[in-house]
Structure 1
C-alpha cells in the first residue's frame, strides 16, 4: 500500500541546528505511518531535534529509521542519544564503507587524534578534544548500496557519492523530487556549490560523484551545510561537474 506523498515542508532545514558558526541541516521526512531522520547533528543535540520535530507536528515516537549520509562527527553525533531515548526499535542505515567508523571499529577518518600534529591538537578546544578521543558510536543495522530503494515515505533512492568519505551517500526523495545531498555539495549565499576541498580528502572522486545527479529529475536540493536550494535548470548541476 503506497504511503501519502511527501508534502512541501516535510523536512526541517528551516529549523537550523547551529554550532560554532556552522549551520547543520538534518532532514526529516514522514507520512501517516512513520518518520525518517537523515543525519543527526553533533553530540548533545537530541533536544533540538525533538523541538524541530514538534514544531513540524511530528511526534518523536514516530521516528522509526535513521539514515546516515556518512561518518563525520557532525552527522552521527546525536545518534546514540536518539537510540537511547526512543521507545522504538529504530533501524539505522549507512553505506558499508563507512559502517566500521560509525560503529567505532575504526577511528573516524577526519577526527583521529593519532593523525593530527601536535600543533593541530593543541589548537582544539577541550570539548572537541574529548569528542575526538571518545566519538559517538552506534550499531548500523543495515548497509545501503548504490541504486537501492527504500520504500519509506514514497520511495528513497540511494546514490553512492564517495569522495567526501569512502562511504558517502546522497538520497533522492522520489515523490517530492528532492535531493538530500549530505556533504556532496553545499549551499553558500543561496548558490549551489561543489564539495568543500578542506573537508573532502578525495576531490576528484567527489566531483565525479556529482555526475550521478544529472539524470535525476531534481526540483530541490537540501545540503547539510547551507540548507535548501531550488533547482531552476539543469545547468546548476552541470556546471559543478565541469
Structure 2
C-alpha cells in the first residue's frame, strides 16, 4: 500500500493555488480522497494518468467533509464512473446527499449579515457556490474507529472544521491523510482556516489527536505532505 499526493494547481482571484487530493494505491485498487472544486475532474484525472495509473481501477472516493473545495467534482466523478463507491462519515453524508442543509451554508448565510461592503460580494459568491453543489448519495457511511480498505485504513473522527470531518490513518505505513484537520504551514501541522472552523476547540482537540498518532507522514490537503 502507498499514498500519492496529487498536486492540483489552479488560479483563484488572480493568485496561484495548489490543493493536494490523495490517491491510495492498494493491490492495483485506487481510492481517491476528496475531489477538488467543481470542474476539477479533468485536472485530477490527468494527474492520476500522469503517475501511470488507470481510472478504470478507481474503486472508491472518500470525502473527508462537506466543503466546496473537497466535494466540488464528486458528482462528476460518480456520473462518469458510476461503479465508484462513495465513502463519508455518517454526519457529513447528510449534507453530501442533500438530506440536510449543510453546516457550511448555514454558517455562510449567518456571516453575511455582519460583513462589510467590501466582503459582502465574496460572501454572496461563496453562498452561491455552496448552493450550486450537486448532491450525491453515499454508498458507505463510516464512524470513528471503523476499519476500511481491506482493514488497512482506520477512520479517525476529527471534528471542528466541520462536525463530521474525518481523517484517515494507515498503521502499516505510519501515515495520516488529514483533510482539513491539519495543514502543512511553515513546516508545522496547524489548524486549517481557524476562522472557518465551526468549533475551534474541537478543531484543536482533533489536531492533537492526529499528532498523537505519531505517524511519520501527514498528507495535508492544503500545504502538501508533512514528514517528521
Asked whether the two chains share a fold, i.e. TM above 0.5, the reply is yes
Write the distance in 2 (CA, Å) between the matches of 1:41 and 1:143. Answer: 20
| Mapping of residues 200-215 of structure 1, within 5 Å | 200-215=197-212
Q: CA deviation at 1:117?
A: 2.2
Is the CA contact (8 Å cut-off) linking 2:5 and 2:224 kept in structure 1? no
Quick check: 1:43–1:136 contact (8 Å CA) kept in 2? no
Query: Does the alignment pair 1:147 with 2:139?
Result: no
Contact 2:30 2:58 in 1 (8 A): yes
Report what 1:68 is aligned to: 63
Query: Does 1:91 pair with 2:85?
Result: yes
Structural mapping, 1:22-171, within 5 Å: 22-86=17-81, 88-112=82-106, 114-117=109-112, 119=115, 122-124=120-122, 128=126, 130-152=128-150, 155-171=152-168
- How many residues are aligned here? 221
CA contact (8 A) 1:39 1:68 kept: yes
Aligned partners of 1:50 and 1:98: how far apart in 2?
Answer: 25
Taking structure 1 as reference, are residues 163 and 130 closer, same or farther at Cα in structure 2, changes over 3 Å only?
A: closer
RMSD, aligned α-carbons? 2.2
The CA deviation at 1:171 is: 0.3
TM-superposed CA distance for 1:176, in Å, is: 1.9
Q: Is the 8 A contact 1:12 1:52 kept in 2?
A: no
Query: Given that residues 5 and 21 in structure 2 are in contact (C-alpha distance below 8 angstroms), is that contact kept between their aligned partners in structure 1?
Result: yes
* Superposed displacement of residue 108, structure 1: 2.6
Structure-2 residue corresponding to 1:234: none
User: What is the TM-score when the length of structure 1 is the normalising length?
Assistant: 0.82
Structure 1 pair 185–127 and aligned structure 2 pair: CA distance change class (3 A): same
Gaps of 5+ in 1: 232-242
Larger % of strand: which?
Answer: 2
Describe how 1:169-188 pairs up with structure 2 within 5 A. 169-188=166-185
CA contact (8 A) 1:73 1:135 kept: yes
Contact kept? 2:112, 2:124, Cα under 8 Å: no
Deviating beyond 6 angstroms after TM superposition, the runs of 4 or more aligned structure 1 residues are none
Residue from 5, 30, 47 that aligns with 1:12 = 5
Q: How much has 1:184 moved relative to structure 2? A: 0.6
Deviates more, 1:212-221 or 1:139-148: 212-221
Q: What is the DSSP-based 3-state SS (H/G/I as helix, E as strand, rest coil) of the residue aligned with 2:44?
A: helix
Does the 8 A contact of 2:22 with 2:33 survive in 1? Answer: yes
Instruction: Indicate how the Cα distance of structure 1 residues 214 and 129 shifts in structure 2: closer, same or farther if over 3 A, else same.
Output: closer
The alpha-carbon distance between structure 1 residues 188 and 18, as it changes in their structure 2 partners (threshold 3 A), is: farther
- Contact kept in structure 2, 1:195 and 1:203, CA below 8 Å: no
Q: Which runs of 5+ in 2 are unaligned?
A: none
Preserved contact between residue 167 and residue 178 of structure 2 (Cα < 8 Å): yes
